[in-house]
Chains A and B, each alone.
Chain A
């Protein structure tokens, strides 16, 4: 079966750095997405990785290792507004998105 694993909840301090991991087992691979979702709101796109390596976009970076079935989202200089759930999703061989359950990130002052 297809599976995406990510931690249920993480806590970090304002101004610090946090890394949210995602491991996947899917039927084929056509890219990995990270989305941010504030409580009660729609998910919004953060990043897309299809090749191995690190993609940096401002305070957020996303890393992919296809051989290990592993990705992480790195958030730097954390702000209170970064408190949200972070969803990992993989596009499989049929171009269907397989979603993880999401990681709730709590930022403390």
Chain B
């Protein structure tokens, strides 16, 4: 089983619908992230959380919200999906304790299409 699991892997929805992408991890990391990736733009940070009580906006948080239900779970919601939110979404974890480098461990991605 993957250390970082995202569901769903693929989703097609319509404009205006509410969508939730879920992420769970078994690495025991405190830090979790949601990124989106668009062709030619690289990875852009939507939200991040350094522990259960800590939620922070990234560079493109408008139109998104998150919930950190537990250390292992971090969900991303699109309150009212629009077509320009069509993208590949990645959840990631990291741990800067114990001398770790801060390397990110990614989930397999969730491809979202908004019609």
Residues of A in contact with B (beta carbons under 8 Å apart)? 8, 30-31, 33, 35, 40-45, 48, 50, 87, 89, 91, 95-97, 99-102
Contacts and interface: CB of A to CB of B under 8 A. Distances in A.
Contact of A42 (B42, B44, B45, B107): B107
B108 A41 contact: yes
Interface string B27-71: 000000000000011111100000000000000000000000000
Interface in B95-111: 96, 101-109, 111
18 contacts: A31-B101, A35-B104, A40-B88, A42-B107, A42-B109, A43-B43, A44-B106, A45-B103, A45-B104, A45-B105, A50-B101, A87-B42, A91-B102, A99-B42, A99-B43, A101-B40, A101-B42, A102-B42
Contacts of B44: 99
B93 to A, nearest CB: 12
B102 A42 contact: no
A33 B103 contact: yes
Given A42-B108, A95-B96, A101 B41 contact: yes
Contacts of B107: 42
> Which of B40, B43, B44 has the most A CB atoms < 10 Å from its CB?
B43
A103 to B, nearest CB: 10
B90 interface: yes
Q: Among A45, A97, A99, A101, find the residue whose CB has the most chain B CB atoms closer than 10 A.
A: A97
Given A41-B108, A97-B104, 10 more contacts: A40-B109, A40-B111, A42-B109, A43-B90, A44-B106, A45-B104, A48-B101, A48-B103, A95-B96, A101-B42
